[in-house]
Amino acid sequence: MLNGHLKLAIQKNGRLTEKSLSLLRNCGLEIEDYSERLIITARNYSLDILFLRDDDIPEYVNDGVADIGVVGEDVLYEKKSDVQILRKLGYGKCNLSIAAPEEKKISEFNQLNGLRIATSFPNLLKKFLTENRINADVVEISGSVEIAPSLGVADIIFDLVSTGNTLKFNKLKKSFDVYSFESVLIVNKDIQLDPRKNSELNDLLNRIDSALNAKKSKYLMMNAPKGALDKIKKIVPSLSSPTILPLADENMIAVHAVIQSEHFWKIHQQLKDAGASGILLLPIENIIL
């Protein structure tokens, strides 16, 4: 069934599925429609993609069923598997939070004493309770934790919150966040023993780094009077050596630079005030550093 390719496990049908596939596509991998498949192979790259329940991914990577995996830090820290984190991936950001039925107001830790808290993260919940000397009952549930209060099996819940839609839909309100997580790339510790897989992994990591860098950056282009260049250099962070191009109007120049995406909206008005015009911000597909 398997062909000796590097094997990557990603979440089947969940918050991280589409984003993980889109990261791989940004790495130049062609991936066919995966619906209802358990394993697919990238069309132009030696990588098998396994679709698994996110809770199982740390265990499968630990056992070597998959060599690497994309998983939320939440699941990773809950399962305490002996795998290594290779990269933080910057997506799938979420909080592990205490939430209560809308009419119940909880704003302080000590209000949790004596309550029954439903969760599928018993280890992380117990850690939080112990560290804060809270005496509460942990009700372990494997899925759909959000319905526990309405079923009467718990008073409140400790669960992942991303957009908050699941809470709203179940008439629950977040009391406070306890932990913050994002998705990470994990690897089986024995991969070093397999030189071929190791070099395949290095190639994939180079592509992932380039795709993650490209996502953080944008290509900024503008026209400006020659005399404004010094001012513009001061406004644009890290613009030590921009590309300067002559324009038909010899008093004008074009300035091009790679900037951090998040900076653009902070500086665009200042650039205009300095005399820049025709400001363009373009996406970058890849950056090889």
Asked if 81 and 62 count as a contact pair (C-beta separation under 8 A), the reply is yes
Measured from the CB of residue 79, what is the shortest distance to ligand PRP in angstroms? 12
Edge to edge, what strands does the sheet with 6-11 contain?
Answer: 39-41, 47-52, 6-11, 68-72, 183-187, 84-88
161 contact choice in ligand PRP, Zn ion, none (CB below 5 to 8 Å, kind-dependent)? ligand PRP
Measured from the CB of residue 160, what is the shortest distance to Zn ion in angstroms? 6
Q: How far apart are CA 240 and CA 53, in angstroms?
A: 47
Of the residues 48, 73, 159, 200, which one makes contact with ligand PRP according to CB under 6 A: 159
Q: How far apart are CA 220 and CA 217, in angstroms?
A: 9
Contact flags string 107-146 toward ligand PRP, x per CB under 6 A = ------------------------------------x---
Instruction: For residue 225, state whether it binds ligand PRP (rule: CB under 6 A).
Output: no
Interface contacts to Zn ion, rule CB under 5 A: 54
17 contact choice in Zn ion, ligand PRP, none (CB below 5 to 8 Å, kind-dependent)? none
Residue type, 44: N
Asked if 97 and 178 count as a contact pair (C-beta separation under 8 A), the reply is yes
Cβ-in-10-Å burial (0-12, 13-18, 19+) of 8 comes to buried
Measured from the CB of residue 146, what is the shortest distance to ligand PRP in angstroms? 6
Judged by CB, which is closer to ligand PRP: 174, or 256? 174
* Chain contacts with ligand PRP (rule: CB under 6 A): 14-15, 54-55, 143, 159-166
